[in-house]
Amino acid sequence: MIKYALKNISQIKFIDGNVEIKYADGTIFKLKENCVFDANYKNTKNHPEVDHCI
């Protein structure tokens, strides 16, 4: 299961089994896999977990 930080997220919706994340800047990211949102999650990788700038 993939973990995501809650930083900069303004809204999370669950629609028909899908997750829709709206960031503070208005960008919307959609997920279909199981996931966990954790307020204390720290990304230990060299790249963003979700690159919503594409």
The domain limits of the chain are: 2-38
Tokens coding 1? 């299961």
Order of strands, sheet of 18-23, starting from the edge strand that comes earlier in the sequence? 9-15, 18-23, 28-31
What lies within 8 Å, CB to CB, of 51 at 6+ separation is none
In whole angstroms, what is the distance from residue 32 CA to residue 17 CA? 7
Residue 31, pLDDT score? 85
What predicted TM-score, i.e. pTM, was given to this entire model?
0.60
| Tokens coding 40 | 């204390």
pLDDT in tens, 8-54: 889 989 888 888 989 888 888 888 888 787 777 777 776 666 655 44
pLDDT of 5 > 80? The answer is no
Question: What pLDDT is recorded for position 50?
Answer: 60
Residue 54 has what pLDDT? 42
Greatest Cα pair distance, the chain, in angstroms, is 33
